[in-house]
């Protein structure tokens, strides 16, 4: 089998020929058709992630066919078209993950390969309405968006939601899910073109977060969002606290820009805001997300597809975030 392996940080991933995989008890081998990239993969190549231990095959998302099962795995999985829940060992608590929680593609070998082994409990049938590429684009970003919007953000139809940095993989799913749930979704982006694409997906409109005074303009035109979904943090976070409606919620699933420069706690308590963190999702969030996606016919947005051998080009392309939606690797 072929695998794109991280041998050292700040170095290109290496395409290796490896021995075919075998399924341990309770696990399966999935012959992968497609994988997708997340910012996590880029951060790992740059050394910007905890616990990096090369060599490791990166990649959290994949779609493919089960070709082998280990002892104690239901034989009906053989030959099934599947996607993989990349969140391992979440535990039994819905409110937060256990200390054992880990993500496919570090420390465990991931999906930038023609084969992967995973516990059978991570498998779900591939959504029928999706191509292999679309199915591979969904898992990590989809469950993160779902938990942030619904399980943590409590979004209800008719509410106004602001989703920042709409070009991001998670953000595009958040927009699609919010629109499907009947919310009024507004977006921010550094790119007018991405704002236009978001409007085509059902956003009410958008604002360029690089432009001076964007949040005042938003407040004037839109009013105060009930829910804000953010993964940037940094100096822009203060504007989100100003923007949120009294009694509103701000959910962060990332902090790409870094911590906020300051946190105006006076506004937080006076406005009765809820500042909520969110990370990927529980097995229940994953199953609920799949049901939601199937029920609403959501199709993931794929920006570009690369052959496995050109995976480094995809990683490199993530540096400047030109994409709208997901980058996908074609594996077979
Ligand atoms: N906690 C979790 O479980 C979890 C899961 C997934 C991702 N994350 C984190 O969430 C972040 C996004 O991940 P992703 O995979 O969706 O990334 P991605 O697809 O690479 O998207 C990154 C996007 O961030 C936006 N951005 C950059 N600077 C910004 C700023 N100052 N204000 C607002 N938006 C800004 C850009 O949007 P525009 O191009 O529109 O300007 C960019 O396209 C990363 O930090 C990632 O580590 C966390």
Class of domain 2-138+300-330: alpha beta
So what's the pLDDT on residue 191? 97
**Is 2-138+300-330's fold the same as 145-277's?**
no
Q: How far apart are the first and last CA of the chain?
A: 11
Which token pair is 310? 């050109």
Q: What is the DSSP string of 105-159?
A: SSSS--SSBSEEEEEGGGEEEPPTT--HHHHHHSHHHHHHHHIIIIIIT---TT-
Predicted confidence (pLDDT) per residue in 218-249, tens digit:
999 999 999 999 999 999 999 999 999 999 99
Q: How far is Cα 315 from Cα 158, in angstroms, rounded to an integer?
A: 38
So what's the pLDDT on residue 24? 98
Which token pair is 285? 């969030």
Residues of the chain with pLDDT under 50: none
Q: Please indicate whether residue 239, judged by its CB atom, sits closer than 6 Å to ligand 1.
A: no
Q: Where are the domains of the chain?
A: 2-138+300-330, 145-277
Q: Quote the ligand 1 centre to 16 CA distance (angstroms).
A: 30
So what's the pLDDT on residue 298? 97
So what's the pLDDT on residue 121? 98
Q: Please indicate whether residue 191, judged by its CB atom, sits closer than 6 Å to ligand 1.
A: yes
Which token pair is 92? 């039994």
The correct CATH number of 145-277 out of 3.40.50.720, 3.40.190.10, 3.40.50.150, 1.10.760.10 is 3.40.50.720
Q: Which residues contact 227 (CB under 8 A, 6 or more apart)?
A: 149, 153, 154, 155, 159, 160, 161, 162, 183, 248, 249, 250, 251
CA nearest ligand 1 atom 33, residue: 165
Pair 55, 4: CB distance under 8 Å: no
Q: For residue 269, give the H/E element and its range.
A: helix 265-270
State which ligand 1 atom lies nearest to the alpha carbon of 210: 31
Q: Please indicate whether residue 139, judged by its CB atom, sits closer than 6 Å to ligand 1.
A: no
Running DSSP on this structure, what letter comes out for residue 258? B
CB half-sphere exposure, 27, CA atoms < 13 A: 13
Q: How far is Cα 116 from Cα 57, in angstroms, rounded to an integer?
A: 9
Q: How far is Cα 171 from Cα 201, in angstroms, rounded to an integer?
A: 12
So what's the pLDDT on residue 215? 97
Q: Quote the ligand 1 centre to 253 CA distance (angstroms).
A: 9
Q: Among 206, 234, 238, 254, which residue has the most ligand 1 atoms within 8 Å of its CB, making it the best to mutate?
A: 254
So what's the pLDDT on residue 239? 97
Q: For residue 169, give the H/E element and its range.
A: helix 169-180
Q: Please indicate whether residue 256, judged by its CB atom, sits closer than 6 Å to ligand 1.
A: yes
So what's the pLDDT on residue 235? 94
């Amino acid at each position: 089998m072929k695998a794109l392996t991280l041998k050292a940080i700040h170095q290109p991933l290496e395409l290796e020929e490896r021995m075919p995989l075998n399924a341990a008890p309770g696990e399966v081998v999935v012959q992968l058709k497609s994988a997708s990239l997340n910012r996590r993969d880029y951060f790992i190549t740059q050394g910007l992630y905890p616990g990096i231990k090369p060599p490791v095959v990166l990649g959290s998302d994949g779609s493919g066919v089960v070709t082998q099962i280990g002892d104690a795995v239901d034989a009906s999985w053989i030959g099934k078209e599947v996607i993989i829940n990349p969140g391992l060992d979440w535990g039994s608590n819905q409110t937060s993950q256990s200390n054992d929680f880990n993500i496919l593609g570090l420390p465990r070998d991931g999906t930038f390969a023609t084969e992967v082994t995973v516990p059978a409990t991570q498998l779900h049938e591939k959504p029928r309405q999706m191509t292999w590429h679309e199915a591979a684009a969904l898992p990590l970003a989809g469950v993160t968006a779902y938990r942030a919007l619904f399980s943590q953000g409590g979004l209800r139809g008719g509410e106004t939601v602001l989703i920042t940095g709409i070009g991001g993989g998670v953000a595009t799913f958040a927009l699609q899910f919010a629109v499907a749930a009947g919310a009024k979704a507004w977006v921010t982006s550094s790119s007018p073109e991405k704002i236009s694409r978001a409007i085509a997906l059902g956003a009410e409109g958008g604002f360029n977060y690089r432009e001076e005074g964007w949040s005042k303009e938003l407040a004037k035109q839109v009013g105060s969002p009930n829910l804000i979904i953010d993964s940037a943090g940094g100096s822009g976070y203060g504007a989100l606290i100003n923007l949120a409606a009294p009694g509103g919620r701000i959910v962060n699933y990332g902090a790409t820009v870094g911590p906020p420069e300051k946190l105006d706690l006076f506004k937080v308590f006076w406005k009765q805001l809820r500042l909520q963190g969110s990370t990927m999702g529980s097995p229940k969030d994953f199953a609920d997300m799949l049901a939601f996606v199937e029920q609403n016919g959501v199709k993931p947005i794929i920006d570009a597809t690369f052959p496995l051998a050109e995976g480094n080009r995809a990683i490199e392309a993530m540096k400047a975030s030109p994409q709208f939606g997901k980058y996908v690797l074609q594996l077979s």
